Amino acid sequence: MPDTVVVIGAGLAGLVATAELTRAGHRVVLLEQEPPASLGGQAWWSFGGLFLVDSPEQRRLGIKDSAELALADWLGSAAFTAGADDVDPRRWAEAFVDFAAGDLRPWLHRQGVRWFPLVQWAERGGYLADGHGNTVPRFHVTWGTGPAVLAPFVRALLDARHDGLVDVRFRHRVTGLDTGRGGRVTGVVGDVLAADGARARGERSSREVVGHFAIDADAVVVAAGGIGANHDLVRSAWPSEFGALPARMLSGVPDHVDGAMIAATATAGGHVLHAGRMWHYPEGIANHSPVWTDHGIRILPGPSSLWLDADGERLPAPLFPGFDSLGALRHLTSRGHDHSWFVLNKTIMGTEFALSGSEQNPDLTGKDVRAVLQRALPGAVGPVERFAELSEEFVWGDSPAALARGMNALTGGDRIDADRLERAIVARDRQVASGLGKDHQVVATTMARRYVVDRLVRVAEPARLLAPDDGPLLAVRLSVLTRKTLGGLRTDLEGRVLRADGAPLEGVWAAGEAAGFGGGGMHGHRALEGTFLGGCLFSGRVAGRAVVAALR
């Protein structure tokens, strides 16, 4: 009888590991605590962005990239320490960059995955050459967004189930790992939850326990995600040197992303690294049609909006929109601010605002070429227009004074001084009107338009915010949006979970966010975007293939 492997979590990393295992003929029991509608986990909701290096898409746009440059950018962003706790994360980082420059694209391409030809430039950095940020555009949006990244692995799951190699058990929540003689993990135990089959994808599901289970296994793969929906845990792990995360936060992940399997694996002996390293966004807005608790959406901004803190002060260079997300978040939390503002006008919104997520980009998700071409025309895309119409976070004004009144009315205070707001706008407009300028943001915006994609569809031509034809003015209140855990279970380069002394926790592998996307935190302190889906793909593949090798 084939060996039995238990895979915990039916998100992207779990599906990739399952595909590798069943392709080799192993029997998999795939356990997922959510109803069937949530197959694919967080990846389904994603924009489908992948960090690819020296791709055909980049080369067609004249982008000169290389594995060496990408690794330099990665290390400049990660800021790994020389200590033992960063040895495995750094090894994973180096291996992942090689994968992103090598087999990632051909592997997916062979399975039918394709990409939008206009490569985006995320996390631009703005520091010195060896600091944080992408030197060149690397964010490749998958044609079909997150669902298209999942598609080949969902197909593999269905084929394997047809062949009798996979037993998918939804509403099975693992609560612990069984250990046998010598401390080797020999199976899992958990609760059977009420079916709750009427729940739509991402909706909060029942936690009513209707039974229990125990499964023996020759190997266990933990791929159950991070902690992003557990706001109490997120706050407790946030580094104190950056202040405190606010009482009011939005969630970029569904309710079930609670970190329970990281804790359960740690109880069995697995070592958790870098719990305080995490990747949350300061540019969140409340979803006008929420699916899960405190459901937020991230604005994907171009570089032209003024970014003001809760008191109306501009964030310092280079904390401009799209340059350093975590740096901006740390700046705000260290000052005790629970929100910030983008200040712009209607024309800039129409050119530069996009929203993250598959459901907020129906043209790309639906592979609608005609609709995608509309992005090159003046005006905002449909989902942005809908947010501007329905969201209370969007405040309009015909003058700085009117805008300040609206901003204060929304927050119920008087922190935004109208005269100070007008001075900030006028000072910025003088820089634009000069045709050159010393303002770092104005210079960076002008430079961004040297890249053909930014010039065509992403960055507005520099112009005065107070230009009458481009109004009215707009302020968007931004909140902290929880998203990813950068730390996690420590793993070696085979995906084996390690104990605190560096020895393997026999019988257990980990992948995806539960493993910090590899090694217990391959991103270090900061991420370069497009690396979370890629990290799930890579670590799921590594873990699946390593289990196959171990069971030979």
**Same domain, residue pair 506 and 470:** no
Distance CA 427, CA 503 (A): 59
- Other CB atoms closer than 10 Å to residue 26's CB: what's the count? 22
Mean pLDDT of the residues in the chain: 96
Stated pTM of the model: 0.97
Q: How remote is the C-alpha of 210 from its chain's centroid?
A: 34
What's the confidence (pLDDT) of residue 2?
57
The per-residue pLDDT for 1 is 47
Phi then psi dihedrals of residue 231, to 5 deg? -65, -35
Retrieve residue 86's tokens: 């960063």
Show which of 458, 481, 504 is a domain's final residue. 481
3-state secondary structure 483-510: EEECCEECECCCCEEECCCCCEEEEEEE
Same domain? For 130 and 64 the reply is yes
Answer yes or no: do 24 and 124 share one domain.
Answer: yes
pLDDT under 50: residue ranges of the chain? 1
Does 319 lie in the same domain as 210?
no
Residue 238 within a domain: no
Residue 456 lies in a domain: yes
Specify whether 151 is located in the same domain as 70: yes
- CATH code of residue 425: 3.90.700.10
Residue 91 lies in a domain: yes
Q: What pLDDT sits at residue 417? A: 98
Query: Does residue 374 belong to any structural domain of this protein?
Result: no
With CA atoms as reference, report the closest residue to 300 among 260, 345, 352, 248.
352
Instruction: Compute the distance between CA of residue 428 and CA of residue 400 in angstroms, rounded to an integer.
Output: 13
Tell me, yes or no, whether 547 and 475 share the same domain. Answer: no
Q: What are phi and psi of 375, to 5 degrees?
A: -65, -25
Structure token digits, residue 387: 């947010």
Among residues 95, 508, 519, the alpha carbon closest in space to that of 277 is found at 519
User: Are 207 and 306 within one domain?
Assistant: no
Per-residue three-class SS string for 347-392: HHHHHHCEECCCCCCHHHHCCCHHHHHHHHCCCCCHHHHHHHHHCC
* 183 and 307 fall within a common domain: no
Same domain, 529 and 446: no
527 in the same domain as 501: yes
End position of a domain, from candidates 481, 498, 525: 481
317 and 204 housed in the same domain: no
CA separation, residue 54 to residues 68, 107, 151, 153 (Å): 10, 15, 24, 25
Q: Do 305 and 390 sit in the same domain of this protein? A: yes
Give a yes or no: residue 58 inside a domain. Answer: yes
**What does the pLDDT read at residue 267?**
97
Q: Are 270 and 326 in contact (CB under 8 A)?
A: no
What is the predicted pLDDT for the residue at 504? 98
CATH number, domain with residue 24: 3.50.50.60
Domain that holds residue 444: 282-366+379-481
pLDDT value at residue 76: 98
Out of 453, 481, 509, a domain closes at 481
Domains held by the chain: number: 2
